[in-house]
C-alpha cells in the first residue's frame, strides 16, 4: 500500500490532532519514506539500534512510541544525524505516537496492560491538558497478589511501594512515567497505581498519601501499544509486521 494511505489511517485512528501531548512528541509522520509499505516494524523507541534493526529486517515503516525529537530542536549532528541518515538512506518512514497511543481505547498501552492484569477499565483519571489519560477498574486482591501478577505479565521484578490498603480494589493503570500522577490517583479514590517509573520523592507521596504504587519499568509497561497497533494495521491492510524489542531495563 502507499505510505500516504497508511499515514492518513493512523492519524485518524489514533486521533492525533485532538489528543494533547508534550510539544516534543511530534505525533504523526516524523520522517518520510520513499517506497510502498509491505512490512511494518514496531518499536518503543526511535533509537539508533531500533532503526538499524528495522533496516536489517527490511521494514518499510517503523512505528514508535517515543519519537526522534524528545531532546528538542537541536542540530542534526552526532547520534541525531546517524539516526536520521539511517532512515533517509534506507527509505524507511518513521511514525511516532506518544499519548495518543497511551490513551487509545483499543490498542493503547494503558487499556492493554490493565486487561492483561485482569482489570477491565471502568473509568479514567489523571488529567493532562484537560484530557484524562489513565484508566482504572476493579480487581479485589491482596496487593502482593497484584505484584506477583505484574511480575509475570511484565517479565521482571516489579517495585511495590506498599503505601495503601492490604487489599486493592480500585486499580489505576498509567504506563511510562506515571509516578507524577500519584496525586491524581488519590483524588480518584484509587487503592493502587500501576505505572512504569517515578522520581525519588514519589515514595513519600505514596506512603504518606496512602496509595499502593507499582513500578514495573518504563519500557516494560509501554511495549503493549506499538505491538497492538502494528498488528492492527497489518491485519487491516494485509501487511506483515514484527516487533523490534530493544529493552532498556528501565
Q: Which of 86, 71, 79 is nearest to 22 (CA)?
A: 71
pLDDT tens-digit map of 139-159? 999 999 999 999 999 999 999
CATH number of 3-98+222-243: 3.40.1390.30
Three-class SS of residue 167? strand
Three-class SS of residue 106? coil
Tell me the three cell numbers of residue 145.
497478589
Question: Of all residues in the chain, what percent carry a pLDDT higher than 90?
Answer: 97
Q: Which of 229, 224, 226 is nearest to 114 (CA)?
A: 224
Q: What's the alpha-carbon Rg for the chain, to the nearest Å?
A: 18
Q: Which CATH number fits domain 109-221: 3.20.20.140, 1.10.3720.10, 1.10.730.10, 3.40.1390.30?
A: 3.40.1390.30
Question: What residue ranges do the domains of the chain occupy?
Answer: 3-98+222-243, 109-221
Type and span of the H or E element at 242: strand 240-243
Q: Which of 66, 72, 28 is nearest to 221 (CA)?
A: 66
pLDDT tens-digit map of 177-208? 999 999 999 999 999 999 999 999 999 999 99
In order along the chain (250 residues), what is the average pLDDT of each group of 10 residues?
98 97 96 96 98 98 96 86 95 98 98 98 96 97 98 97 98 98 98 98 98 98 98 98 97
Cβ atoms 224, 250 nearer than 8 A: no
Average pLDDT of the chain to the nearest whole number: 97
Tell me the three cell numbers of residue 187.
483524588
Q: Is 3-98+222-243's fold the same as 109-221's?
A: yes
| pTM for this entry | 0.96
Buried b (16+ CB within 10 A) or exposed e, 212-224: bbbbbbbbbbbbb
Amino acid at each position: 500500500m502507499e505510505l500516504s494511505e497508511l499515514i492518513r489511517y493512523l492519524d485518524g485512528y489514533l486521533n492525533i490532532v485532538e489528543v494533547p501531548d508534550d510539544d516534543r512528541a511530534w505525533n504523526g509522520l516524523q520522517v518520510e519514506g520513499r517506497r510502498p509499505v509491505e512490512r511494518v516494524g514496531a518499536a518503543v523507541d526511535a533509537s539508533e539500534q531500533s532503526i538499524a534493526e528495522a533496516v536489517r529486517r527490511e521494514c518499510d515503516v517503523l512505528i514508535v512510541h517515543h519519537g526522534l525529537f524528545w531532546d528538542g530542536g537541536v542540530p542534526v549532528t552526532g547520534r541525531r544525524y546517524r539516526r536520521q541518515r539511517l532512515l533517509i538512506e534506507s527509505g524507511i518512514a518513521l511514525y511516532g505516537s506518544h499519548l495518543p497511543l497511551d490513551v487509545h481505547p483499543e490498542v493503547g498501552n494503558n487499556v492493554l496492560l490493565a486487561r492483561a492484569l485482569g482489570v477491565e477499565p471502568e473509568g479514567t483519571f489523571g488529567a493532562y491538558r484537560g484530557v484524562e489519560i489513565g484508566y482504572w477498574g476493579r480487581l479485589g486482591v491482596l496487593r502482593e497478589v497484584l505484584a506477583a501478577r505484574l511480575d509475570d505479565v511484565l517479565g521482571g521484578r516489579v517495585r511495590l511501594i506498599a503505601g495503601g490498603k492490604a487489599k486493592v480494589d480500585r486499580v489505576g493503570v498509567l504506563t511510562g512515567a506515571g509516578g507524577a500522577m500519584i496525586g491524581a490517583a488519590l483524588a480518584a479514590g484509587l487503592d493502587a497505581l500501576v505505572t512504569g517509573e517515578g522520581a525519588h520523592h514519589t515514595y513519600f507521596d505514596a506512603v504518606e498519601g496512602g496509595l499502593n504504587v507499582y513500578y514495573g519499568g518504563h519500557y516494560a509497561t509501554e511495549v503493549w501499544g506499538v505491538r497492538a497497533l502494528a498488528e492492527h494495521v497489518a491485519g487491516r491492510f494485509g501487511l506483515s509486521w514484527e516487533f523490534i524489542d530493544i529493552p532498556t531495563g528501565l
